[in-house]
Amino acid sequence: MSCDDKVDCGRRRLLVATSVAGGVAGVAAAIPFVSTFAPSERAKSAGAPVEVDISQIAPGQMMTVEWRGKPVWIIHRTKEMLDGLTKLTDRIADPKSDRPMQPEYAKNEHRSIKPEYLVAVGICTHLGCSPSEKFKTGAESGIDAEWTGGFLCPCHGSTFDLAGRVYKSKPAPDNLEIPPHYYLSDAKILIGEDKKGA
């Protein structure tokens, strides 16, 4: 995979290396004891849901947490950011998210449960690089004068808006994935699980 952004790609390689190392250790541990096929405590905790306090994310800012070895972005969108999404329909490949890249409860205009918070897996749907944040708008963004904020994948140039929707005619085939999640309270979300009974 070619890559111009050494920082992001270095991080991605580290994630891959970590996953591979974890997989090898898991196999080695299973060999002597056939009865230990049940997931280890370590494996269970690696796949466990992640509770996140979102109250400290200022409007217009984002935070990244790790879930199952993947970066998950939580973006606190301002009204201006949300308004920008409505102007992009003609430039987005799948503006209504008809492809199943999100749970049903996030299949809406904002691709989220609450309009102001986007929760998305920060991995490009082309070949898996980690896109970079481009929140500046217009020509100042370095992308184009119409840019309303979003993300640029440094590997092959795919661009995504602030709902994780991919722009038309880019290498990435799909919008960013929205992971299962729900609100434990106004200030806390749980990533990795759907609300029971929802």
Residues marked active site are found at 156
DSSP state letters, 81-134:
HHHHHTT-GGGBSSTT--SS-S-GGG-STTSSSSTTEEEEE-S-TTT---PEEE
Distance, in Å, from the CA atom of 113 to the CA atom of 103, rounded to the nearest integer, reads 10
Of 50-58, 67-75, 123-131, 180-188: span binding ligand FES (CB under 6 A): 123-131
Nearest distance in Å: CB 126, ligand FES: 3
Do residues 158 and 170 touch, judged by C-beta distance below 8 A? yes
Q: Which residue's CB is nearer to ligand FES, number 177 or number 194?
A: 177
The reply on whether position 121 binds ligand FES by CB under 6 A is no
Q: How many CB atoms are located within 10 Å of the residue 74 CB?
A: 20
Give residues with Cβ within 8 angstroms of 35, minimum separation 6: none
Distance, in Å, from the CA atom of 11 to the CA atom of 31, rounded to the nearest integer, reads 31
The reply on whether position 9 binds ligand FES by CB under 6 A is no
Q: Which residue's CB is nearer to ligand FES, number 72 or number 155?
A: 155
The reply on whether position 70 binds ligand FES by CB under 6 A is no
Number of residues that bind ligand FES (CB under 6 A): 12
- Judged by CB under 6 A, the residue of 57, 127, 135, 183 near ligand FES is 127
Q: How far apart are the first and last CA of the chain?
A: 39
- Judged by CB under 6 A, the residue of 74, 101, 152, 155 near ligand FES is 155
What sign does the dihedral 194-195-197-198 (CA atoms) show?
negative
Nearest distance in Å: CB 135, ligand FES: 18
Do residues 152 and 134 touch, judged by C-beta distance below 8 A? yes
Q: Which residue's CB is nearer to ligand FES, number 153 or number 189?
A: 153
The reply on whether position 166 binds ligand FES by CB under 6 A is no
Q: Which residue's CB is nearer to ligand FES, number 123 or number 178?
A: 123
Interface contacts to ligand FES, rule CB under 6 A: 124, 126-129, 153, 155-158, 171-172
